[in-house]
Amino acid sequence: MSEQINTKPGKVLIIDDDEDVLFSARLLLKRYYSIVRIEKNPNKIPDILKDEHYDVILLDMNFSGDTTSGTEGFSWLKKILELDPTAVVVLITAFGNIEMAVKAIKEGATDFVLKPWQNEKLLATISSAMKLSYSKREIEDLLSKQKQLTSDLDSQFQEIIGASEEMKRVFSMIQKVAQTDANVLILGENGTGKELVARAIHRHSGRNDKIFLSVDVGALSESLFESELFGYKKGAFTDAREDRAGRFEIASGGTLFLDEIGNLTPNQQVKLLSVLQNRQVTRLGANISIPIDIRLICATNLPFTDLKSENRFRQDLLYRINTIDIQLPPLRKRIGDIPLLVKHFTTMYCRKYNKEQKSLSNEALKKIMGYLWPGNVRELQHTLERVIIMSESVILQPSDFLFSSDNSPKDMMALNNYHLEEAEKMLIIKAVSKYDGNLTKAAKELGITRAALYRRLEKYGL
């Protein structure tokens, strides 16, 4: 009774000018792989590879024009790798030696087989080559997907939407600092898009083909801080069952983004400063230091004046992370960008939830622009997502947008704006929002001239 063999998916191309070799190899391999193609004429290789990708290519080194030197084989090996750099090529010859085998590997061959071969050895060689081919293909697929995702995200600054002067200044800063390796500190309230800016800097930098790794260090407990950032050796603590690289090691070569850096404890700040000064990390439980090469970007929602306080943050660490600082404006200081953001998010969520395209009535937009958005762009985004899901109307009305009383402009003014200049600024924002940017009407509402309003807009950067 004949042995039952399960054919595996896999495509093998065999190129040899000896028909007996082609026939016997095909007879053997077709029992194991779904497609086995044979070709006697090496000159057809370019056309064959143009039409089809093969997982493994078996290539003879000596054709009729040259029976011993292997020159033709090396020439065709080079040509194959030019046509397909990921090709997995196994060279076969009856006149091999150690020197030729070493040269074959150096030239890019995966393995080297002598004729006549033992069937078991040939099958083992092809099996190993097939696994390598699959691994190469997986890597290529991952890289291709990564490039496509990067391309899809790479509008000028991804989802950083804005045309206001404040955002133009942010875009200009991104362009200037991206091409350097300077450490960057991004300052801004929660929801202003600090991580988006960090990703934009990375994508426009010389490290854009390497990893971008984001870590919320504010969420790391004292006990997890070192193990997560610096890694650990097996047995370093109770649950350390295997060696593990930390975030600094993983991000080496790319960009490491440390969010909520202002929440670090004094002890954590000391440990981070040491790593940044020495440009190397030591895993918990290890004695060997590992060099790191990262672009560091940090972010915090704390005001810069708070960070500069000696009791709040180490000044030597602040100097390390703050070669350049980028201040992101809150949404209330760039209300002119709200219509752009509304259009972007409504389109995005209508597509996501298979809804008919919706838009806002003038009254609804007016209501939105009159709100101070304490949660900034993130709050606006979540609000629009909720409204898109819940509203049955194609034209969204003011009643679709429900703001809690404690976040209303009136209450925010009462609670947070006792400073005269800040209160004046908020009143100007409200007046301009109320009249949809009509400065003549806003000035009249405020009881000042249009020229006086212009001066105050310039003064407050509105």
Residue with tokens 């660490």: 317
Residue with tokens 């093998």: 12
Last residue of a domain, one of 142, 171, 200: 142
Asked if 319 contacts 329 with a C-beta cutoff of 8 angstroms, the reply is no
Statement to judge: residues 307 and 186 lie in one domain:
yes
Residue with tokens 């896999």: 10
Higher model confidence: residue 167 or residue 148? 167
d(CA 192, CA 263): 18
Percentage of residues in the chain with pLDDT exceeding 70?
87
d(CA 11, CA 258): 46
Classify residue 316: in a domain, yes or no: yes
Statement to judge: residues 324 and 352 lie in one domain:
no
Confidence tier at 18 by pLDDT (50, 70, 90): confident
When divided into structural domains, the chain yields a total of 4
d(CA 442, CA 427): 10
Higher model confidence: residue 69 or residue 153? 69
DSSP characters over 18-54: -HHHHHHHHHHHTTTEEEEEEES-GGGHHHHHHH---
Statement to judge: residues 87 and 113 lie in one domain:
yes
Whole-model pTM: value is 0.59
Query: Which of 33, 107, 118 has the alpha carbon at shortest distance from 91?
Result: 107
Higher model confidence: residue 223 or residue 143? 223
Strands 111-114 and 89-93: parallel
pLDDT number for residue 253: 92
Classify residue 409: in a domain, yes or no: no
pLDDT number for residue 360: 94
Asked if 31 contacts 5 with a C-beta cutoff of 8 angstroms, the reply is yes
Residue 171 pLDDT > 90, yes or no? Answer: yes
Give the range of the structural domain holding residue 436, as residue numbers without chain letter: 417-462
Confidence tier at 145 by pLDDT (50, 70, 90): low
Statement to judge: residues 241 and 278 lie in one domain:
yes
Query: Which of 44, 143, 146 has the alpha carbon at shortest distance from 85?
Result: 143
Classify residue 275: in a domain, yes or no: yes
Confidence tier at 380 by pLDDT (50, 70, 90): very high
pLDDT number for residue 148: 55
CATH value at residue 380: 1.10.8.60
Average pLDDT over residues 362-368: 92
387-441 pLDDT, tens digit each: 999 998 999 999 999 875 444 444 444 434 456 777 787 788 878 777 656 777 7
Percentage of residues in the chain with pLDDT exceeding 90?
37
Higher model confidence: residue 76 or residue 184? 184
User: Which segment of 239-243, 295-299, 387-391 scores lowest on mean pLDDT?
Assistant: 239-243
191-239 pLDDT, tens digit each: 999 999 999 999 999 998 899 999 999 888 888 898 899 988 888 787 7
CATH value at residue 428: 1.10.10.60
Last residue of a domain, one of 402, 429, 449: 402
Residue 156 pLDDT > 70, yes or no? Answer: no
Statement to judge: residues 325 and 180 lie in one domain:
yes
286-295 pLDDT, tens digit each: 888 899 999 9
Statement to judge: residues 219 and 352 lie in one domain:
no
Classify residue 266: in a domain, yes or no: yes
For residue 178, what are the CA distances in angstroms to 130, 152, 212, 323, 404? 41, 19, 13, 13, 40
Classify residue 148: in a domain, yes or no: no
For the chain, the farthest-separated pair of C-alpha atoms sits apart, in whole angstroms, at 103
Classify residue 20: in a domain, yes or no: yes
Classify residue 156: in a domain, yes or no: no
Residue 298 pLDDT > 80, yes or no? Answer: yes
Average pLDDT over residues 325-348: 93
Query: Which of 264, 201, 25 has the alpha carbon at shortest distance from 122?
Result: 25
Higher model confidence: residue 18 or residue 64? 18
Element housing 214 (H / E): strand 212-216
Residue 152 pLDDT > 80, yes or no? Answer: no
Statement to judge: residues 302 and 188 lie in one domain:
yes
CATH value at residue 121: 3.40.50.2300
Last residue of a domain, one of 91, 107, 142: 142
For residue 10, what are the CA distances in angstroms to 35, 46, 127, 246, 342? 6, 20, 10, 38, 50
pLDDT number for residue 150: 55
Statement to judge: residues 339 and 322 lie in one domain:
no
Confidence tier at 76 by pLDDT (50, 70, 90): confident
d(CA 274, CA 102): 46
d(CA 422, CA 375): 18
CA-angle at 396, arms to 392 and 402, nearest 5°? 95
Statement to judge: residues 318 and 348 lie in one domain:
no
CATH value at residue 302: 3.40.50.300
Statement to judge: residues 172 and 27 lie in one domain:
no
Mean pLDDT, rounded, of the chain: 83
**Crossing angle for the helix pair 165-178 and 194-203, to the nearest 10 degrees:** 40
Statement to judge: residues 75 and 170 lie in one domain:
no
Statement to judge: residues 183 and 281 lie in one domain:
yes
Classify residue 323: in a domain, yes or no: yes
